[in-house]
Amino acid sequence: MANNMNSKMTNKQAKAGLDKLKMEVANELGVNLKQGYNGDLTSREAGSVGGEMVKKLVEKAANEMNSQN
């Protein structure tokens, strides 16, 4: 049961971190992203935010892997 509680806390922390990254990326790209519903975004805007998030996460993972070696 303790493991399940730890897992839930980690999931909340991960979600909060991804939400923060999403807002930072949207701001960098000039996309008007707001908390909650964003149905007014174009597919291009939403895709550019998601794509840039993936790019940053991959770069971070690569840097962490390189620093371990």
Angle, helix 43-68 to helix 2-29, in steps of 10 degrees = 120
Predicted pLDDT of residue 36 = 87
pLDDT (mean) for 42-64: 97
4-51 pLDDT tens trace:
666 676 888 999 999 999 999 999 999 999 988 999 999 999 999 999
Predicted pLDDT of residue 2 = 55
Cα–Cα distance for residue pair 5/60, rounded to 1 Å: 27
Cα–Cα distance for residue pair 45/29, rounded to 1 Å: 9
- Residue 49, number of CB atoms within 10 A of its CB: 23
Predicted pLDDT of residue 60 = 95
Predicted pLDDT of residue 21 = 97
- Residue 25, number of CB atoms within 10 A of its CB: 20
Q: What is the pTM of this model?
A: 0.79
In the chain, domain spans: 2-68
